[in-house]
A = this chain, B = another copy of it.
Amino acid sequence: MVDLRKVTAALVIIGNEVLSGRTRDANLQYLGENLNALGIRLMEVRVIPDVEDTIVDAVNTLRARFDYVFTTGGIGPTHDDITSASIAKAFGVEVVRDPEAERLVRSNYATPEDVTTARLKMADVPAGSALLNNPVSKSPGFRVENVYVLPGVPRIMQAMFECFRHELLGGEPFKSREITAFVPEGEIGGPLGEIQERFPDADVGSYPFVREGRFGAALVVRHPEQTVVDAAAEAIHDMIRNLGAEPVEE
């Protein structure tokens, strides 16, 4: 496996509900796909509980290691929303009430009575944060240096990401082709390894599946240059036919 990373990112998913299996995370797949489309490689994801020291440790480790860090979860108004305080601690800064964030939070409610103490907590961010626009429910996310702090609700997280995605500096977007065949991985292993050797700087992956009781594999080639992807994909087509099966590509 060749290391193709250029611009890199990590994701920290904060939430006991994901660890307990209660909630199935949807943010990893969305961010993986969308960062990939920008040429940013998601290199590591951590799912961690709502525990301050754990959040601080994960964020500080990952922000030193990768170009971007995204966090999801824990920025709502309840007692278990401790992400803002934890990010502030990670950067060694205070939590402050941001006037613009307060204006945004207040603008989401019809009457002053609706703006509860709990809701105003969503205007508290680490000192020095840049706010991230939330077109769904107003309460902003925020960015501190290379760390983007986003909500856990997928619909809001995605809307927020769409607002700042143009600011992210991607590497070279990857081209890819995916070829599927009902050939067990065990027959593919040898010849596919040879294809990887012929195209050493391409990322050649094999992802087995069981479908309708039959074993098969999806073979994926990724590389910044379309010509390299095409050459490796053709070699995979030939390999599958040589194994007596039919390559399928959508």
A residues contacting B by CB (< 8 A) are: 1, 3, 13, 15-25, 28-34, 36, 41-51, 54, 76-80, 82, 114, 116-119, 121-122, 136-137, 152-153, 155-156, 178, 185-190, 192-193, 196, 203-210, 215, 217, 220, 222
Pairwise interchain contact A19-B43, C-beta atoms closer than 8 A: yes
Assembled-state Cα–Cα distance A117/B78 (Å): 56
Copies in the complex: 2
A42's closest neighbor in chain B, by CB?
A: B19
Pairwise interchain contact B82-A1, C-beta atoms closer than 8 A: yes
Given A32-B20, A51-B3, A220-B22: A206 and B80 within 8 A (CB)? yes
User: Which residues of B are found within 8 Å of A43, using beta-carbon distances?
Assistant: 19, 48-49
A108's closest neighbor in chain B, by CB?
A: B186
Given A19-B43, A153-B209, A153-B210: A77 and B185 within 8 A (CB)? yes
7 cross-chain pairs, A with B, having the tightest CB-CB distances, nearest first = A118-B189, A21-B32, A21-B33, A119-B186, A45-B47, A79-B193, A77-B189
Pairwise interchain contact B24-A206, C-beta atoms closer than 8 A: no
User: Which residues of B are found within 8 Å of A208, using beta-carbon distances?
Assistant: 76, 152-153
User: Which residues of B are found within 8 Å of A117, using beta-carbon distances?
Assistant: 189-190
User: Which residues of B are found within 8 Å of A51, using beta-carbon distances?
Assistant: 1, 3
Pairwise interchain contact B118-A187, C-beta atoms closer than 8 A: yes
Say whether chain A's binding surface is mostly helix, strand, loop, or mixed. Answer: mixed
Pairwise interchain contact B76-A185, C-beta atoms closer than 8 A: yes
**Residue from B116, B192, B217 in contact with A190 in the complex, judged by beta carbons closer than 8 Å:** B116
Question: Which of A29, A49, A80, A186 gathers the greatest number of chain B CB atoms within 10 Å?
Answer: A186
A139's closest neighbor in chain B, by CB?
A: B186
Known interface pairs A1-B82, A77-B185; 12 further A-B residue pairs with C-beta atoms within 8 A, sorted by A's residue number: A1-B16, A1-B49, A3-B51, A19-B32, A21-B29, A21-B30, A21-B33, A45-B48, A78-B188, A79-B193, A114-B186, A153-B209
Given A45-B47, A116-B186, A220-B22: A205 and B16 within 8 A (CB)? yes
User: Which residues of B are found within 8 Å of A33, using beta-carbon distances?
Assistant: 20-22
User: Which residues of B are found within 8 Å of A77, using beta-carbon distances?
Assistant: 185-186, 188-189
